[in-house]
Structure 1
């Protein structure tokens, strides 16, 4: 452990002497091997896809192995007034990775808390600590014979709990991961523990089974917030289905998005499709196959004739969507027939479905098997690749989706970036997930990408579209778009409410300052 810590790029001042004293104190609790404060350590916990690592470089990291050790870390931070940045596994790529908003904060790495407390096969529930990854939980479910299926994000390298708390998404029926949370154990900034929902009763028999509780429901208050550190999370999982049926649709032109959206969302709303299908642009699919140089090595934007060649080679459309049906074979075949008939009338297509039954190889099942395939997209431009996520929410409406696409695509192209977007179609709303791909060593991209992000946020806000999740660089910017009830200081009603809760729960302002734009009183000025 190195005691001299230089912090030069903080938004606010972090006292390096207090940080050194804090790390010395917690080393006595965790052992010095769990305190990481060397130069390489600080870089390892920085944003590995950032253009300027120092912008969010922490002072170091500490890795407790138990709730008891975590409590001592939190108590010491209160004494020394040192800001902490808790992470589950630090794989929040595209949104900041393990890095804190505030440079100089100390990362609290919870990857050592890896206990799977419970798997209730009959009721479809798991209870996990923050260090449990998707592969860990999948391995345990495999050992049990796959009684329950996971919903996994595109890159499943990270934490089950961490992904749910950031409201991560997956393309399965339980794909709204934040909505599957039921019952948390949370360490508050004073080191005390609270259990949400019916877990507030000692010996509760229904802690992770029901969200109906006496009084306010707090599960969602700890999602995307800095009000506490989640040490245990209950999550609902899908019972393994008897069969699955999958079918692919492709739309040939960029202008086809509107009819694609309008074809899907009424079927989703009626429950005929039981997951949020997405229309994905062809560059997204191509980026999983290989780098751009595989098709084009020239400068500037990907030419349209090259794009057409890519689509032809891969057998895909400009927009592409996959629908999956889960359940008894008779039921899913019947649902598919209704969906296929409706889409044939609207899209002029009736592709052949693929059927999987229990006992078949899992290859065609879409069984929520963890994968890191989507990380291949960061190699699109070559060099030290990276990506940044921009994800506004808009109404489920084809015309609005088409307008949002065309506006966003124009901004991408003005910045010299190939457009990669997806429109995840829900029953009433759409999440427009845009992946800004870049080469971190490209000076032009280093200038253009941050400006592009700010422009996209402003454009969306003018339309009344807010983001559901954002990069640490943009947290203050997105928080500022929540301007209902703005006061003379320029702070909206939600910002003031968050500030009141933050100051009440965390009077010393130690826990994740700046997360989601929520700053404690000591830093707000």
Structure 2
């Protein structure tokens, strides 16, 4: 057995291994290098020295989480929490502080409650999108979940990191209703109406009596969330989903400007995904093609949806209302030269095998299609680091953003999957800068390219909404209003909740004053 415990911290960590083993059992304390490797940044190289975990603990109950944080306080060791560790492109389970102990919550994987009439579920952090979907189907409940592009991750983990899906409740943070949180002291708090021991309203009403605290535990390190309520969408009678496809470079600004009023007035439901895919010199390649030996641009075109620009949109509910929405959208984009509107319709209870692969996500069906396409066309050892700014829902801004990204990628000799998730008033960037994990120079070039993108975005007044650990300081330094007053507030909160700074230190740039 090869230990991964850093020598400079071996005394405290060795004692921690023994004490954690006593309370969790040996199978829930992972110390050998092979077991711990999964909890590193999945896209780092073998030569990586930063953001390295020491070992991993996997509690299966709230009481075990409480015991872990109390021991960490006694020994002065840093913990780093991950739900399933599938946050690829943003570091996976990699901690900001080297030698942190990863508290991985996969074993806390129970769907605790599903209420079909009220449309909610209560889940533990190890529950994946696949798990909740399958449980709903097993109960024959007429409910839909919202899923991100890859369904293997944790519902809680994705939500706490402000993740997105694409259906009506696609803004996952907005669908939260009630949390249970273990604080650094080991105390357990329930937010909202869950603070009443006999509450029947915990997942039905978002605010309790006094300040609402749920957002305080998102993108922070003030506690470990062990339960979370999430609102679900009633299964629609029918739904239609598909794409608005444009083919010219100059189409992006008018396309974005045409979509904005349709989002503001609710004609388009859910959150559209708008992707950019520069045309290869020899034309686009279909997803089922053998792209071995082809240029990277051709491989990318096989991985992404068709068209220079592709806006995936969806409608849910009554068939006559869907047809009316379809007509409004068709008329709104008719002025775009060569535009194509492709929509496919399904029953609300459609089975996954009946759905076009590109339609699975807006159908609320978890899947791995995007990762499968990435590996098929870009290789099994493809990695990516993500650049994810929030920009105005404005055609000129979108065009400037895309040109900046593609220009930096071209200079670096890289390709990226680029697009935006459309909210009503903003576009959330979703740019994956691809590289070969085993190519150190290419990996370094990808990281440097994203740093350049972050700097340019900041000059335009835009900030990332999520970031890899190596980019956290690049992001937080730009929140400079009032001499970085917001960061000062975060530090005061950290001092109050976790004065020793044991919980995920440095997460989203939040540190106790002692650090």
TM-score, normalised relative to structure 1: 0.90
Structure-2 residue corresponding to 1:356: 346
Question: How far apart are residue 418 of structure 1 and its match?
Answer: 1.6
In the TM superposition, what are the counterparts of 1:55-74 in structure 2 within 5 Å? 55-74=50-69
Q: Which moved more, 1:70-79 or 1:200-209?
A: 200-209
Structure-2 residue corresponding to 1:510: 502
Match of 2:423 among 426, 440, 454: 426
Matched, 1:48 2:38: no
Match of 1:96 among 91, 94, 104: 91
SS at match of 1:262: helix
Match of 1:451 among 448, 451, 454: 448
Contact kept in structure 1, 2:85 and 2:153, CA below 8 Å: yes
Q: 1:110 to 1:283 in 2, by over 3 A?
A: farther
Distance, in Å, in 1 between the alignment partners of 2:4 and 2:351 is: 55
Match of 2:226 among 211, 214, 231: 231
Match of 1:267 among 243, 247, 262: 262
SS at match of 1:370: coil
Deviations 1:63-106 (A, max 9, x none): 11111111111110000001001111111111111111111000
Contact kept in structure 2, 1:282 and 1:318, CA below 8 Å: yes
Structure-2 residue corresponding to 1:339: 329
Contact kept in structure 1, 2:237 and 2:348, CA below 8 Å: yes
SS at match of 2:80: strand
In the TM superposition, what are the counterparts of 1:68-467 in structure 2 within 5 Å? 68-282=63-277, 289=287, 294=291, 296-297=293-294, 302=297, 316-346=306-336, 349=339, 351=341, 353-358=343-348, 360-362=350-352, 363-364=354-355, 366-376=362-372, 378-379=374-375, 380-382=377-379, 384-467=381-464
Structure-1 residue corresponding to 2:492: 500
SS at match of 1:368: coil
Question: How far apart are residue 170 of structure 1 and its match?
Answer: 1.3
Unaligned runs of 5+ in 2: none
Structure-2 residue corresponding to 1:5: 5
Q: 1:117 to 1:211 in 2, by over 3 A?
A: same
Contact kept in structure 1, 2:277 and 2:304, CA below 8 Å: no
Match of 1:19 among 13, 23, 28: 13
Distance, in Å, in 2 between the alignment partners of 1:41 and 1:450 is: 27
Structure-1 residue corresponding to 2:479: 482
Contact kept in structure 2, 1:476 and 1:514, CA below 8 Å: no
Question: How far apart are residue 307 of structure 1 and its match?
Answer: 8.5
Cα root mean square deviation, aligned: 2.5
SS at match of 1:130: coil
Name the count of aligned residue pairs: 504
Distance, in Å, in 2 between the alignment partners of 1:356 and 1:146 is: 18
Question: How far apart are residue 315 of structure 1 and its match?
Answer: 8.8
Question: How far apart are residue 508 of structure 1 and its match?
Answer: 1.2
Deviations 1:379-424 (A, max 9, x none): 3543621011111001110011101111111111111112421022
Matched, 1:520 2:515: no
Structure-2 residue corresponding to 1:10: none
